[in-house]
């Protein structure tokens, strides 16, 4: 399974600010948006394009346009923090929502909502900032493949080796793009060093 870990000075700078416990939700949200722009740019580097001729103010020239924009699927609720950045780059993308919440004791993801557009032959970008045990991402990706998705990429801000291994075993074709591959999970299944509970830090629900 392909795994891309960003090597980018601005991404590393933004991630460090996100990790910092002193970063408040009003700072956390724009940092998430900026870092997601870099991640989405990386994940869409090779989207298929077609040539077209346009006129600049001076002359005709050849350019390109995207053939089809990928479907965006934020995993509720923390994935919502990544959606606007993805839509800034892909404004005509259709958006599906998958609601999953980890049980605080077992860390098992419980599904509570799903609304997906027609996938057709479009590729899908799943947006979820944290890949910890991999249970949430695996539930979402399985649903997408069951609906006929051909190409799925998972974009996350921090990934744990445990989650990467689970997805690797279950979905050998899935591509993961992340800003960091962290060390491990703690006994409560939080990522170390991580950045804490992303949804809580994004929305202020401490």
Provide the strand spans (E) within the chain: 3-5, 49-55, 60-66, 71-76, 97-102, 109-115, 124-127, 130-131, 152-159, 175-181, 184-185, 191-192
198 is a site residue for ligand PRP (CB under 6 A): yes
Alpha-carbon distance of 107 to 101, in angstroms, equals 9
Cα–Cα distance for residue pair 45/22, rounded to 1 Å: 33
82 touches ligand URA (CB under 6 A): no
Q: CA nearest 144: which of 153, 135, 133?
A: 153
| Shortest separation between residue 160's beta carbon and ligand URA, angstroms | 8
Total interface residues for ligand PRP by CB under 6 A:
23
Q: How would you class 126 by CB atoms within 10 Å of its CB: exposed for 0-12, middle for 13-18, buried for 19 or more? A: buried
Residue window 128-167: x/- pattern of binding to ligand PRP, with contact defined by CB under 6 A: xxxxxxxxxx-------------------------x----
| Residue 197 among the catalytic residues | yes
Mark whether 103 is an active-site residue: no
101 binds ligand PRP (CB under 6 A): yes
**Which partner from the list ligand PRP, ligand URA, none does 194 bind, CB cut-off 5 to 8 Å by kind?**
ligand URA
Q: Is 128 a catalytic site residue?
A: no
Residues that bind ligand PRP (CB under 6 A): 75, 77-78, 100-102, 107, 109, 128-137, 163, 189, 197-199
State the catalytic residues: 102, 106, 197, 200
């Amino acid at each position: 399974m392909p795994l891309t870990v960003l090597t980018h000075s601005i991404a590393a700078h933004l991630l460090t600010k996100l990790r910092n416990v002193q970063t408040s939700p009003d700072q956390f949200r724009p940092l998430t948006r900026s870092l997601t722009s870099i991640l989405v740019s990386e994940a869409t580097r090779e989207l298929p394009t077609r040539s077209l001729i346009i006129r600049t103010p001076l002359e005709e020239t050849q350019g390109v346009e995207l053939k089809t924009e990928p479907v965006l699927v934020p995993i509720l609720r923390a994935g919502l923090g990544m959606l606007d950045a993805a839509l800034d780059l892909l404004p005509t993308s259709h958006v599906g929502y998958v609601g999953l919440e980890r049980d605080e004791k077992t860390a098992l993801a419980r599904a509570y909502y799903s609304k997906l557009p027609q996938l057709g032959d479009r590729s899908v970008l799943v947006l979820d900032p944290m890949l910890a045990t991999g249970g949430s991402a695996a539930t979402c990706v399985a649903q997408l493949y069951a609906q006929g998705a051909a190409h799925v990429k998972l974009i996350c801000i921090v990934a744990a080796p445990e989650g990467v291994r689970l997805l690797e075993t279950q979905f050998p074709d899935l591509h993961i793009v992340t800003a960091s591959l962290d060390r491990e999970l703690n006994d409560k299944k939080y990522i170390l060093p991580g950045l804490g509970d992303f949804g809580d830090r994004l929305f202020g629900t401490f």
